Structure 1
Amino acid sequence: MARTTILDLPSELIASVVTHLSDNDIFATRLANRHLERASLSFYGPHFFRKKGFMLTTPSLNVLRHVSEHEELRKDVQHIWFNPDCFTFVTPACGPDDQEMPPDPHDPDSKLLLLSPSDRRRYEAYRECMRDHSSLMRSSGAKLQEILTDVLPKLPRLEVIGMRRSEDHSPWGWARLRDAVGEDPRVLGPLPLGPLHHLSGPTRLFIAIIHSLAATTVKLRRLYTDAIEIDDVDPSLLPQTLLDRACNSIWYLELNSTRAWLARRNGRSDGGYIRNLEPANYGDGLVRLLRATTHLKEIGLQIFPGQTQSYLVAPGYPDPESWRTSYQYICLEKLTRDAPLRHLERVKLEKITTASATLRAFLAPSAHTLRSLKLRDVRLLSSRPPTPAEDADDDETPWTPIFTFLHTSCPALRHLLLYHLLHGTGAVSFRPNTPMLVPPVQTDPTTGLPTSTFGGSDEEEAFARYEHVALQVGDVEGGGRGGGEGDVRAVRDRVAGLVQGHWCVGPYFTYVIDDGVWFTDTSGEEW
């Protein structure tokens, strides 16, 4: 009887065998024989290239370019994402210490002679990487835009583009940079100590993506971003007509909008931004973007005040009414008024401060289609500022109209997640017994700002009361996609109980929420 080897098996069986191998064994198998390489391609392509991340460096983007030019692998790419920054700390550990030896203005490289040979090699690798990264991102990502405009149309099944800035994800090339420099390029460094003269890396990446989509026939379905300064982008860089071409096909948008901390343009500047963003212009860029997404079904929106203002501290602390002048408040008010979203099925809002009437008006156009609602760190104020003659408690129930609206006007709602809801001067508890409150805020006498008072012997008890902070009901696994009438009834009944069954209390400790519960993972979805 003749001996049968794997080479004698039909290609379909070889592809099936490969599915049971480890990644390293798959690589070894494909390198062993041309027939095995071809036969395993039907599994290899989707497994390794359906969803792939890249650094914003030329070597990493060259991999993306080569994949887009491969006759078979390019058909498997559905989802690409980018690490928007690279080595965000000021100087790597292998670099010279400016405090020990200030740089010589006439010979800035002279201090490199003090480095050991290994540190000098690492530091040169770091400088080469940053020169390359800067060249790609200069002029609002003009060179990156050219690359993406060439690559994206060659990926016929591409439907998702995003940004990921985390050590939990592995963009192509990060390990080589780590080995060359001695530090992880994905690690986030400290926030800048002063204003910048250019838009952030994620913002310039966003501009490049939008321009590339507008210049091609790619029909993107999902787009998710890191923190972008969309309101600070000069409107001439992202005009409405360009946004319409790029974003008209999008069904799902996850956006973190933040306010930039920019210096006036003087001397060398990358430009591309509004010189002084006034409150009257808050939300303008966000409105233009949302107006372009005419087929939007799902939105995840976070509005952050910027690096110089905490979302937990009122701009005019201790006056809670000063929230009405905040970036988040004005942005959502303008978005609700000027860009109503009428077909949403899933809504996720985070770190937003608004009035009760504004949140209701934001949700109302999609009331009959809304199936999933997630709210985290959302602060509601009463729909109008209280007058001195009114009881102080009148401003302490801004969530009642929202829970009433969800109960009476959202017949399809089957998944609800509420986490750390807030009111003007504190938080909302879903249990009648008062949770452990944060100690009274102390004020720094030199700045007038609140100082941290967290910690102490009562922390353990405080963090054991998670049920005060979070509420989840309905189609938990599907996030509102699946579920049935049972989930609809469960949500309706629970929301009915919330109308009278929530308590406005002072500030209290928050908890770490499971990212798998909050974030929408698109990695397992087929199109």
Structure 2
Amino acid sequence: MTSSTNNILDLPAELLVLIVRFLEDEDVFTLRIVSRTVEQTVFKYFAKRFFRKKGFMITTPSLDVLQQISQQDQLKPYVQHVWFNPDCYTYVEPDCAPEAVDDDTGWRRHRRPEDEAKYKAYLSCHSDHIRLLRKPSKGLENLLTTALQQLPNLKIIGMRRSEDHKPWGWRTLKDSIGEDPRVTGPTPSGPQYSLSGPTLLFLFLVRAVAASNIVIRRFYTDAIELDNIRPAQLPQDLLSKACSSIWYLEINITKAWLANSDNHVLCDTLDDPASYGRGLISLLRATTNLKELGLQLFPDQRSLRTHNLAYQHPSDWQKTYPYLCFTALALNVQLVHLTRIKLERIITRSDTLISFLIPSAPHLTSLKLRDIRLLSHSNFREPWRKFLTFLLDSCPQLKYMFFYRLLHSRGGISFLENPPLPLPLSETDPTTGAPNPSFSEGEETDAQEFFLKYEHIALRASGREEVRRKLEVVRERHWYLKPIMGYQLDEDLWHTDTSDEEW
């Protein structure tokens, strides 16, 4: 008679790996230390689950982990996706900081005894973060170069500025200081005196990719001041070396307001509209194999701080950074391999947008537009009609479209002749001002409710036949209204997260 056993070591390796897939993270860690046999059996799954996609902060302890992973022969082949959070209490002073107190001796800084340790930890991590990003030497750039070139299967590099994502070390800082380092404060008013943290990180990452000779396929960034980087810091040959292999690029561009100074080494403080878009043009010229593009253009910070953005006359839109930048892009770059395009916060004319899309129109399969403002002129009083006609006539492969809150010179576009009135305040989210509920792709009921209730500002279609049918309808039936209210949009529906794809 064979005696039964409950020993996990007696299980077939395939069954053990299958069991591990259903365990919580902490249970996986515990299981690995049961025995060397178990550890070796589940190592491949462990490495893929916890190290295929890994995020880091720009702090010495976090980057030390990146270096250690890149030097671990067994582990480093599983790393395919590395991302960074460029923030560390950006524009935020934590509650543990000394308070300003007015007493008989005048204003002074008062530090609570219970906050001494927290504030000391904050000063230490913040100075470390600043030193890494802004030290004149190439310390961070060299560190990134060394680490990246030792990851043989690295294909995706990006930035994530969100509390939804967890870079290594964020929890330790939150526990020791009492506040989340990923939370950012409001951008200060007035000019800045150096490039932003995300822009510096972008600069060092591109240089590191070029120096390490790695081949990356996807690159995504956030809030980059491309036109404030001096061309000498990112020459065209360096950009081409780093970016020619990229298939997917997502980039958000802004034009920071920089104070004039002769001491700037990395940044260009000249505010010349003729140069708007220069950095973006150079970057996209380097992406000769680009298949997917996500582009967002924010207004320049000087205009936001010094001018009234009500734009009483339609021609005022033509003076904005998004308008001038996108115009320069359409005139100077042809992206012939694009199959998927996502544009946000663009201000342009229908002719310019069409000109940008023409090189990729024959094989364009997906188009997302959000907060796009098309300006009219004497020959085209209905700019969206011309654009929709172009999609019908020139994009035969288009099988997915999602348009949200399309705009014109003086207001918004409605796909209903009599759109619903904005929701009363009692039915909106008190935090965001957005209506409840939102909608999402994963929750069919909410999504359906949204498109029934707010179909005047959102248009979505899947499949070539449905796309063509809806385009034919809305080309004839869309209305130019006064400013139109936008509603909360589930970001999962807008963003295309390909980070979990296997390579």
Q: Same fold (TM over 0.5)?
A: yes
The residue that corresponds to 1:521 in the other structure is: 497
Q: What SS does the corresponding residue of 1:321 show, helix, strand or coil?
A: helix
Conserved 8 A contact 2:299-2:320? yes
2:348 to 348, 354, 376: 354
User: Using the alignment, how far apart are the partners of 2:104 and 2:70 within structure 1?
Assistant: 47
Q: What SS does the corresponding residue of 1:340 show, helix, strand or coil?
A: coil
The residue that corresponds to 2:180 in the other structure is: 184
The answer to whether residue 391 in structure 2 is matched with residue 406 in structure 1 is: yes
Q: What SS does the corresponding residue of 1:62 show, helix, strand or coil?
A: helix
1:87 to 66, 86, 89: 89
The answer to whether residue 458 in structure 2 is matched with residue 470 in structure 1 is: yes
The residue that corresponds to 1:16 in the other structure is: 18
2:421 to 427, 436, 449: 436
The residue that corresponds to 2:214 in the other structure is: 218
2:32 to 13, 30, 33: 30
TM-superposed deviation, 1:16: 2.4
Distance of aligned partners of 1:262 and 1:17 in 2 relative to their CA distance in 1, 3 Å threshold: same
Q: What SS does the corresponding residue of 1:210 show, helix, strand or coil?
A: helix
Conserved 8 A contact 1:396-1:423? no
Instruction: State which drifts further: 37-46 or 10-19.
Output: 10-19
**Residue identity opposite 2:459 in structure 1:** L
Instruction: State which drifts further: 462-471 or 334-343.
Output: 462-471
Q: What SS does the corresponding residue of 1:347 show, helix, strand or coil?
A: strand
The answer to whether residue 358 in structure 2 is matched with residue 368 in structure 1 is: no
**Residue identity opposite 1:374 in structure 2:** K
The residue that corresponds to 2:338 in the other structure is: 344
TM-superposed deviation, 1:308: 4.2
**Deviation digits for residues 408-440 of structure 1 (CA, Å, limit 9, x no counterpart):** 110000000000000000000011114437xxx
User: Using the alignment, how far apart are the partners of 2:231 and 2:167 within structure 1?
Assistant: 31
**Residue identity opposite 2:455 in structure 1:** E
Distance of aligned partners of 1:308 and 1:186 in 2 relative to their CA distance in 1, 3 Å threshold: same
**Residue identity opposite 2:84 in structure 1:** F
TM-superposed deviation, 1:339: 1.1
Conserved 8 A contact 2:256-2:300? yes
Instruction: State which drifts further: 490-499 or 197-206.
Output: 490-499
TM-superposed deviation, 1:455: 7.4
- Runs (4 or more) in structure 1 with deviation over 6 Å come to 101-105, 457-460
The answer to whether residue 131 in structure 2 is matched with residue 135 in structure 1 is: yes
Instruction: State which drifts further: 240-249 or 30-39.
Output: 30-39
Distance of aligned partners of 1:334 and 1:229 in 2 relative to their CA distance in 1, 3 Å threshold: same
2:474 to 495, 498, 517: 498
Conserved 8 A contact 1:86-1:133? yes
**Residue identity opposite 1:220 in structure 2:** I
The residue that corresponds to 1:288 in the other structure is: 282
Conserved 8 A contact 1:251-1:295? yes
**Deviation digits for residues 197-237 of structure 1 (CA, Å, limit 9, x no counterpart):** 11001100000100001101210100000100001101110
TM-superposed deviation, 1:375: 0.2
Distance of aligned partners of 1:245 and 1:160 in 2 relative to their CA distance in 1, 3 Å threshold: same
The residue that corresponds to 1:307 in the other structure is: 301
User: Using the alignment, how far apart are the partners of 2:54 and 2:465 within structure 1?
Assistant: 40
Distance of aligned partners of 1:104 and 1:205 in 2 relative to their CA distance in 1, 3 Å threshold: farther
Structure 2: gaps of 5 or more residues: 436-449
**Residue identity opposite 1:190 in structure 2:** P
User: Map of 1:52-67 to 2, 5 A cutoff?
Assistant: 52-67=54-69
User: Using the alignment, how far apart are the partners of 1:94 and 1:162 within structure 2?
Assistant: 31
Distance of aligned partners of 1:471 and 1:316 in 2 relative to their CA distance in 1, 3 Å threshold: closer
Conserved 8 A contact 2:363-2:397? yes
Identical-pair percentage = 46
User: Using the alignment, how far apart are the partners of 2:28 and 2:50 within structure 1?
Assistant: 11
The residue that corresponds to 1:447 in the other structure is: none
Distance of aligned partners of 1:520 and 1:221 in 2 relative to their CA distance in 1, 3 Å threshold: same
Conserved 8 A contact 1:95-1:119? yes
Q: What SS does the corresponding residue of 2:28 show, helix, strand or coil?
A: helix
Q: Could you state the TM-score of these two structures normalised by the residue count of structure 2?
A: 0.90
Distance of aligned partners of 1:140 and 1:359 in 2 relative to their CA distance in 1, 3 Å threshold: farther
TM-superposed deviation, 1:102: 12
**Residue identity opposite 2:492 in structure 1:** G
Conserved 8 A contact 1:141-1:204? no
The residue that corresponds to 2:320 in the other structure is: 326
User: Using the alignment, how far apart are the partners of 1:467 and 1:310 within structure 2?
Assistant: 31
Q: What SS does the corresponding residue of 1:342 show, helix, strand or coil?
A: coil
2:259 to 260, 263, 269: 263
User: Using the alignment, how far apart are the partners of 2:23 and 2:340 within structure 1?
Assistant: 38
Q: How many residues align?
A: 481
**Residue identity opposite 1:344 in structure 2:** L
User: Using the alignment, how far apart are the partners of 2:193 and 2:105 within structure 1?
Assistant: 22
Instruction: State which drifts further: 125-134 or 32-41.
Output: 32-41
User: Using the alignment, how far apart are the partners of 1:363 and 1:175 within structure 2?
Assistant: 44
TM-superposed deviation, 1:98: 3.2
Q: What SS does the corresponding residue of 1:511 show, helix, strand or coil?
A: coil
**Residue identity opposite 2:133 in structure 1:** M
**Deviation digits for residues 154-188 of structure 1 (CA, Å, limit 9, x no counterpart):** 11111111111111111110000001111000111
**Residue identity opposite 2:272 in structure 1:** E
- Report the aligned-residue RMSD: 2.6
User: Using the alignment, how far apart are the partners of 1:294 and 1:494 within structure 2?
Assistant: 33
Q: Could you state the TM-score of these two structures normalised by the residue count of structure 1?
A: 0.86
TM-superposed deviation, 1:193: 2.3
Instruction: State which drifts further: 507-516 or 174-183.
Output: 507-516
Distance of aligned partners of 1:514 and 1:459 in 2 relative to their CA distance in 1, 3 Å threshold: closer
Conserved 8 A contact 1:198-1:271? no
Conserved 8 A contact 1:265-1:271? no
Distance of aligned partners of 1:89 and 1:459 in 2 relative to their CA distance in 1, 3 Å threshold: closer
The residue that corresponds to 1:168 in the other structure is: 164
TM-superposed deviation, 1:9: 3.3
User: Using the alignment, how far apart are the partners of 2:69 and 2:103 within structure 1?
Assistant: 46
Conserved 8 A contact 2:340-2:365? yes
Conserved 8 A contact 1:136-1:142? no
Conserved 8 A contact 2:244-2:286? yes
TM-superposed deviation, 1:314: 7.6
**Deviation digits for residues 351-382 of structure 1 (CA, Å, limit 9, x no counterpart):** 01001100000011001110000000000012
TM-superposed deviation, 1:404: 0.2
Distance of aligned partners of 1:103 and 1:514 in 2 relative to their CA distance in 1, 3 Å threshold: farther
